[in-house]
Amino acid sequence: MSKVLVLGIDSLSPALLSEFEGDLPNFSKLRKLSPAVKLSSIFPPDTIPAWTSIYTGLNPAKHGLIYVQDVFGTQRQEIVSIDNSIFEGRTFWDYASSSGKRTCLVFPHMAYPPWPVNGVMVGRSTTELRVPGGPKWAAKTEIQIYPQEATAKHRIPPFMTTVFGNYPGRRKLGEYAKDLWKATSDEAEFGLRMSRESDWDLYFMYFYLLDNIQHFFWRYHDETDPRYPGAGPYKNIIRDSYRLFDSIVGEFMNSNPEATTVVLSDHGHGMRPPKTVNINAFLQQKGYLVVNAKRQNPAVYLIGRLKAMLLAFVHRHELDYWLLSLATSRPFASMSKKVYVSSGSIDMRKSVAFLSSFAGAKSYSHGGVEIAANNTSGMSYEEIRSQLIKELLGLTEPSTGEKLMSWVRRREELYTGQYLSRYPDIVFQLKEGYGAYWDVDAPLIGTAYEHNIAPGGHKKEAVFLVSKLDGRTCARTDMTLMDIAPTILDLLGLDTVVHPEFDGSSIVERSG
């Protein structure tokens, strides 16, 4: 039975693999060997819920980790309190382990500290510790291993150097990319060594650094981006990062020629929407949202007025970095967040509906609307929800008359599960190029000012490549993240292990 080697590359985009094809010999080889699978991420396509769905085969409403990261750390409290109880014993490598397969896991995202498996599990803390004297993005993370005896055998370092996902400032971007490549190469070297030194049937390693690169460098790469500055020193940083991952994938394949290689991502990457749709302004105009008449918090009100002027100024002059550091420094962070998501100016006692911040304080094209069930004055919750869905579907771009929504649904039409209430009452997807925004007292369409800082954003199209099927056939080419765990188990020959909890199913089938 085949050994299976899985490389999880955060934010690897199928579109960019095609665009850079000529520069990526190993990816191109793998793409020729693999069935042409279309992998869709979950809703919202964000790292924490996505990897949890990959590990467990569960949709986010069942595993409950619907938390996302943003510059204001809106959900930081929930994220730091994530513990292993959600994963331990429920991941694809646990099922493989308990079926007698030997596993080797290297840095599975968030699965920390490591727990007992049949083999070796090297975990990496998600807490980044500052490196004294280093550049401001230099960080180190703590490493732990199961079993402890393996520390000496594999010469496991107590810490590894990493790079913060915080914006380094425009002038320092080049230096930032170099440090990030160095950290990635060191990780890959460590992972390769683990793949050679340990005895495994299932190997899994996770890489996250491509996500940071794409967030910060998108507008330097994409000539269609409205903030594309023309060819310059950062033009090829994303392409070069894909080249680096191409050589990493090649080295793993050459080192483990007998293994079935799987390369996958949690979501893709693309341009962050440059335009915004002020959903709260729309709800305000329709009478669902009421703005605080008294402006109870004058500081929030004042900052709100200043924000618009300051953002426009900064956007024009590309003074992005210091604004962000000001906005995210204590004590401004919580206040800027309130301003950003308008929560300081909404009268929650009178409002019926408002834009949810469940998907983070960032202008992505997916979002949701929360209904305040107490304030529906006479109408039933379901009447309000149906009416709102209809009105949101009718939203049009005022200058062209074109529809703005791709779809608008009740949350239970998206997923079912015990944590469904962590989703807002209504979920929606805007058309490409438009992000959901919180402004009140504002026109419907606006500009995404953070586009300068993080012009790249997550896309739902993800990557799933497999080097061989060992006599099996591909049953279907449409795949969700929930199908990954059962597919990996199937590739390991554990076809009979159908875990009742899985929301997905294997995409390969045994022939004959």
What residue ranges bind Zn ion (CB under 5 A)? 10-11, 47, 266
Interacting residues of 129 by C-beta distance below 8 A, sequence separation 6+: 139, 140, 141, 142, 159
Cβ atoms of residues 219 and 120 within 8 Å: no
Residue with tokens 């890959």: 188
Cβ proximity to Zn ion, 264 vs 488, nearer residue: 264
Residue with Cβ nearer Zn ion (10 or 490): 10
CB of 361 to Zn ion, least distance (A): 17
Q: How far is the CB of 421 from Zn ion (least distance, A)?
A: 24
For Zn ion, the closer CB: 46 or 225: 46
**Residue 95 or residue 245: which is nearer to Zn ion going by CB?**
245
How far apart CA 112 and CA 128 sit, in angstroms, is 13
Which residue lies nearest Zn ion, judged by its C-beta?
47
CB of 52 to Zn ion, least distance (A): 11
Nearest C-alpha neighbor of 265 from the set 127, 435, 459, 79: 459
Per-residue tokens: 394: 């009718």
Q: How many helices (H) and strands (E) does the chain have?
A: 16, 23
**Nearest approach, Cβ of residue 269 and Zn ion (Å):** 9
Residue 80 or 306: which CB sits closer to Zn ion? 80
* Identity of the residue, 10 or 425, whose beta carbon is nearer to Zn ion in the bound complex: 10
Is 63 or 315 the residue whose CB approaches Zn ion more closely?
Answer: 63
Longest dimension (CA), the chain: 73
Least distance from Zn ion to the Cβ atom of residue 394, Å: 33
CA distances from 111 to 49, 56, 102, 115, 116 (A): 13, 12, 18, 9, 12
Least CB distance to Zn ion at residue 417 (A): 21
Q: What is the DSSP string of 309-371?
A: HHHHHHHHHT-HHHHHHHHHSTTHHHHHHHHHTTTTTB-TTT-SEEE--TT-SS--SEEEEEE
CB of 414 to Zn ion, least distance (A): 19
Q: Could you tell me if 165 and 136 are in contact, meaning their C-beta atoms sit under 8 angstroms apart?
A: no
